A and B are shown apart, each in its own frame.
Chain A
């Protein structure tokens, strides 16, 4: 059976690349620290020696719009183009072409359907920064095949926090049962408290530092009970209008299982709190 070699859950910040590659005199003061933290986090993936990456994100109205927005979608293609024109323009993100893994995509889709997660699928998916940001931070050589999974944290009405966790659990079961000797890493990004296009955006810190502190503690301890007891769509909205992105972190905890994270780090940036978590599931020779 395949080995789930590592589970990574982090925030994604589309300005990381721009912030850390600008000429030194134009860089924000935290750029060197940010880069050090990201490179240390990258090592938690590298040492797991993955062969395939299962990547969880959300389309930000790039390929999908409100005429047909999928709640859950999996890419099932032999390769994926990435980065849209408006992401290049706003964030300075480069274009990529990532190889796919049709066999694992097909196995994952069937496994999800068998577990009553009726996914949409795409045979021609162009992926956006929700998946490219973690490629840049944890696998910048972009040399591994990917299985992209999108979950709707973006266009309400949204699935419940519990549903995100259960989906993570289902993905875990499917990876564990995949008949292959490959080492698979699951990488997903979301947000802690975040505000976009509202009165609390681009402040000195994230919009809700108390939520951020608590969320980091919950994830570090793998405390799904506390998360499900406290996190609702309403509580997330109170912490910032884009804080629903935290549900992708809950999904990743579902893949890891209710365990303490092996690696936890964070960085208080302007606008948002960055946080980085890695789990090594039992039995994974990391």
Chain B
């Protein structure tokens, strides 16, 4: 398990409009590209060999599965921000303001009153 690497995916994609567009249009292709050429980058030249996604993490990212990501302990701010970027506009147009955010909350309702999975890394 690598919460760090899941967070690195969310962080690097959310801050880059082009990667974000590709993550919306073809998540599987973008996740593959990310694992090959973006995730391992420590900076423009240096590469890191430390982290890798598990199959479950990869699948959660490909499926835009924010419930699974919450349950894995992905950072709540990164997860909320990136999925708002992907879905807020279309939900807003169809169902009004905050409809995506409220659906997001409802899908996690089984965690109400329980201790959440830790986001500590």
Do the two chains belong together in a single complex?
yes
A residues neighboring B (CB under 8 Å): 60-62, 65-67, 84-86, 89-90, 154-157, 196-203, 237, 241-242, 270
Interface: B1 (CB within 8 A): no
Query: B102 interface residue, CB < 8 Å from A?
Result: yes
Q: Within 8 Å of chain A (Cβ to Cβ): is B87?
A: no
B34: Cβ under 8 A from any A Cβ: no
Asked if A90 contacts B116 (CB within 8 A), the reply is no
**Residue contact B102 to A202, C-beta cutoff 8 Å:** yes
Partner of A86, one of B8, B85, B116: B85
Please tell me if the beta carbons of B11 and A196 are within 8 angstroms of each other in the complex. no
Closest CB-CB distance, B1 to chain A, in whole Å?
14
A213 to B79, CA, bound (A): 29
Is the C-beta of B29 less than 8 angstroms from some C-beta in chain A? no
- Asked if A61 contacts B77 (CB within 8 A), the reply is yes
B76 touches A196 (CB 8 A): yes
The 7 closest A-B pairs by CB, nearest first: A197-B76, A197-B80, A199-B108, A202-B101, A156-B120, A199-B112, A197-B79
List B36-74 residues whose CB lies under 8 Å from chain A: 42, 66, 70
Q: Which residues of the other chain, A, contact B101 by a CB distance below 8 angstroms?
A: 201-202
Also in contact, A61 and B80, with CB within 8 A (given A66-B7, A200-B112, A241-B116): no
- With a cutoff of 8 Å between Cβ atoms, the chain A residues found around residue B110 in the complex are 199
Q: Does B104 contact A (CB under 8 A)?
A: yes
A198 near B8: Cβ-Cβ < 8 Å = no
Partner of B105, one of A66, A85, A201, A270: A201
A196 with B80: CB separation less than 8 A: yes
15 contacts between A and B (CB under 8 A): A65-B8, A67-B42, A90-B84, A196-B76, A198-B111, A199-B105, A199-B106, A199-B110, A199-B111, A199-B112, A200-B105, A200-B112, A202-B101, A202-B102, A203-B105
Contacts of B84 in A (CB 8 A): 90
Distance between Cα atoms of A45 and B8 in the complex (Å)? 39
Chain A residues with Cβ below 8 Å from B70 are: 197-198
Contact A156 B118 (CB under 8 A): yes
CA distance A198 to B11 in the complex (A): 18
A157 and B118 CA atoms in complex are apart in Å by 10
| B residues less than 8 Å from A90 (CB atoms) | 81, 84-85
Q: How far is the CB of A124 from chain B (nearest CB, A)?
A: 15
CA distance A86 to B42 in the complex (A): 21
CB distance from A172 to the nearest CB of B (A): 30
> Are B85 and A89 touching (Cβ within 8 A)?
yes
